Structure 1
Amino acid sequence: MSGLAVEETLELWASSLRDVKSRMRVLFTQERVAASAGQFLDGLLGDERRKTGWMRAEAAGDKGPWRQQAILGRVPWDADALRDIVRDYALETLADPDAVLVIDETGFLKQGHASCGVARQYTGSAGKITNCQIGVFAAYVSRHGHAFIDRALYLPKAWADDPERRRKTHVPQETGFATKPALARAMIERALATEMPFSWVAADSVYGVGDIEMALRRAGKGYVLGVSAKHAFNSWDKPYAVAGTARDIAANLPPEAWQRLSAGTGTKGERLHDWAYIELADLNAADYNAALSGTWTRGLLIRRNIADGELAFFSTWCAQGTSMEALARVEGHRWAIEDSFETAKNELGLDHNETRSWHGWHRHVSLVMLAFAMMATIRHHANTAPPPKTMRNPCLRP
């Protein structure tokens, strides 16, 4: 945070913390409960490496973790209302018409089988099938910064169909089985309903085909969505005709089809890859929504790793004339949510939830999202603050 002096940064931190606590005060009917929620947030933002109930309680000066646990358990309050507060708060600072909504998931490693949604399932967090919960998240990524704005716990079918496990973990009666793409689509629809400014959606191959594509076309939003190497593509009315799987199309591309482009700046500088882009068809936006106009292009974007030649494939939808460089940049925005998961776990205790219930998971995660959004807001304001004024020497003439 280079734009402010230390004293100004500390004041910005303090005022931001007061602000977010004030915003979530409306969720609680009693002042003492609101104070406990504020202390919970303090604990998430504290220096403790593990954000357990005991450690948060010690930081708050409590004799035990019971007040901290009550915030996640027996005290009645609406985690979805907090989610909406987080979204609105983040957008006050991060909103931009060219923003990208990034969808991804992360794993929460667990012991035992009692925590809501836990099962042996694959998670990229561990790179294998293991005992864990899976959370699907939406992050808002713009030139001003990035923050989580939505989340949902994935409930495997074995859990959704088991009345006893649902009862013990307080799964809402109206909550049934939903695939990860279905959870993602619900998040996109919530984002669209709020009319938040964004132009793109990016996601990996779990979310790359089906209803999400159609929903975004109807909404007039561009996308760069991962697909498998076996996904079939066909072109029509284009000079460069292709038909077949993404892998086969990539194998037949001439060397001049590839360009080395940056997907954005990472912690180690520009993230360079080799890219190829094939326009498949030009379509009228009005075919999907009568309120829209203009020509949009369906395409196939291919990324090749410079070091090992590994390929990744993306289905794209964009306004006619959009460059490959722009599409590569949109895909590169997915890095922001991966960075967010790492930061939220390492610094804010995203995966330190000790409750077993459905509402406990959503409450804990929503509080972490609020802490993360506050940090993103502070970072933006600190980095964009004007430089301090310097005293002019009165002995010098103008």
Structure 2
Amino acid sequence: MLVDVAPEHVEGWAEELASLIAGLGHLFARPEPREVFADLIEGLLSDLGRKNGWTIAERAGHATPHRIQKFLGEASWDADALLAEVQDYIARELGDGQATLVLDDTQVQKKGTRSVGVARQHCGVTGDVRNCQVMVMLTYAAGDGHTFYDRRLYLPKAWTGDPERCRQVGVPDGTAFATKPQLGIAMLTTALERSLPFAWVAADADYGKDPALRDFLHERLLPYVLAAPVTLPLAGPPGKPDLGAPQVTCAGDLLHYAISRDQWERRSQGEGSKGQRYYDWTWFEVTLPGQAPADGFAHHLLIRRSTGKKQLAGGRVDFEYAYFLVHHPRDAALPEAVRHAGVRWKIEENNETAKQITGLGQYQVRRWNSWHRHVTCAMLALAFLTVQRAHHPDPELDAAPQEPAGQEHEPGKAQQPQEGSACRSSA
């Protein structure tokens, strides 16, 4: 994991970093912003404890943070042009036809009300409602590494419904409210338009329950594994002929069928920081009411069960379960779906690494342009680290202790639904 990268590793990559920064000089019309850009990227990759305008300026030998602040706020350059260069760099260095694109959002806690997009809203970092900004991110998870490919700032309706407030922080005129899944669709559209090589899409339940996102993926013949809420309406599994058409039920209620069917396979969801993450898995074909799969595809409900019983909320001891809706070519097999379900957690690792190492959430900016500039620079720093680790692996860093089968170590906010939720309705 990149959280293990030490300053001496970055120092060893100085020549590659200098070449990368020099190759982006054409984005800036004058020498001074080119110099400040180099100072900023090097600062984001340094061993500074905090990575904001003051600390990075001091490291670069600036008397004040004015040059960094001007670069992020007033200088003439295009954050989206830099983003396009970052995306080209990722495709060139990590491109993989079997890669997975992973959607999720992350939050940065903020005080006050003046920073663009800030509002009292759900904060996944703390699990409650508090003042924060929400950024929707897209991770490129390839065989050689995983890093952020795109970003969007989520603007709540309290912002988009107040044009003057938006104008004060430089939000472009006409910016309309967009849900998080809609922002995800915009990023997936960009990836397709740029011919990024990938095979599957993955996302958590906030995206998996969105019919418009699923329609987008069906229309483009894209396989996906999307975490599903227990309340996701489903029809199935197919009943016996004498039972007639299957009832419309929900993902959580189909757990009864999975338990009675008793066809579980123990497989690793992928390697974590302490070794392979083993779970028991089962899947079966289902119908998504009103939303057919693409031609040649099928929908399956994939259920993950912990390998042992655990203490659950309320003191009950039982297995933990999670649900995934899988849209796949009919020749796909369960192991492939399990692998992509595991890849989904790579974006959690990117969130953690970018915040700890490349200063993703340590900005001191309030305006629209400044936010996009800082976040894009942090993405470039993370992409650089990912590429260098892929090209120059360190055997000591890659030798992680293994854990015995049956132990689950998974970051993030995995759903732990209970058996038999009350949401059945007749067809």
Shared fold by TM > 0.5?
yes
Aligned to 1:111: 111
The aligned counterpart of 2:254 is 249
**Aligned-partner Cα distance in 2 for 1:10–1:123:** 32
Three-state SS of the structure 2 residue aligned to 1:380 is helix
The answer to whether the Cα contact below 8 Å between 2:269 and 2:338 also exists between their aligned partners in 1 is: yes
- Secondary structure at 2:255 match in 1: helix
Q: Deviations over 1:276-307 (max 9, x none)?
A: 2111269xxx985xxxxx72111111122335
Residues 242 and 249 in structure 1, CA contact (< 8 A), matched pair in contact too:
no
Task: Verify the 8 A CA contact 2:236 2:249 in the aligned structure 1.
Answer: no
Measure how far apart 1:162 and its partner are: 0.8
* 1:133-282 matched pairs, under 5 angstroms: 133-208=133-208, 209-235=210-236, 243-253=248-258, 254=260, 256-280=262-286
| CA 238–269 in structure 1, closer or farther in 2 if over 3 Å, else same | farther
The alpha-carbon distance between structure 1 residues 321 and 62, as it changes in their structure 2 partners (threshold 3 A), is same
CA contact (8 A) 1:238 1:280 kept: no
Aligned counterpart, 2:382: 372
- CA distance in 1 between counterparts of 2:235 and 2:165 reads 46
Residue 239 of structure 1, CA deviation: 6.9
- Give how far 1:321 is off: 2.4
Question: Which residue in 2 is equivalent to 1:353?
Answer: 363
- Secondary structure of 1:233's counterpart equals strand
Mapped partners of 1:67, 1:10: distance in 2: 24
Q: CA deviation at 1:237?
A: 6.2
RMSD: 2.4
CA distance in 2, matches of 1:63, 1:32: 15
Q: Is 1:363 aligned to residue 386 of structure 2?
A: no
1:313 equivalent in alignment to 2:323: yes
1:234 shift after superposition: 1.2
Gaps of 5+ in 1: 289-293, 386-398
Shift of 1:235: 3.6
Aligned residues: 372
Residue 261 of structure 1 aligns with an amino acid whose one-letter code is R
Letter in 2 for 1:262: S
Contact kept, 8 Å, 1:274 with 1:304, in 2: the verdict is yes
Matched position secondary structure for 1:257: coil
Paired residues of 1:20 and 1:370 also in contact (CA < 8 A): no
TM-score with structure 1 setting the length = 0.88
Choose which of 342, 348, 352 in structure 1 pairs with 2:352.
342
Q: CA deviation at 1:383?
A: 2.2
Query: Pick from 335, 349, 367: which aligns with 1:325?
Result: 335
- The one-letter code sitting in structure 2 at the alignment partner of 1:316 is V
Instruction: Give 4+ residue runs of structure 1 displaced > 6 Å after superposition.
Output: 8-11, 236-240
State the distance in 1 between where 2:91 and 2:337 align: 23
User: Matched residues in 2 for 1:149 and 1:157: separation?
Assistant: 26
Give 2:95's aligned residue.
95
Does the Cα contact within 8 Å between 1:155 and 1:177 map onto a contact in 2?
yes
* Cα distance in 1 between the residues matched to 2:382 and 2:296: 38
| Aligned amino acid, residue 170 of structure 2 | H
Ranges in structure 2 where 5+ consecutive residues have no aligned partner = 311-318, 396-427
Identity fraction in percent: 39
C-alpha deviations, 1:218-242, integer Å up to 9, x for none?
2221000122101111147687967
- Residue equivalent to 1:291: none
C-alpha deviations, 1:257-283, integer Å up to 9, x for none?
A: 22222110010111112222111269x
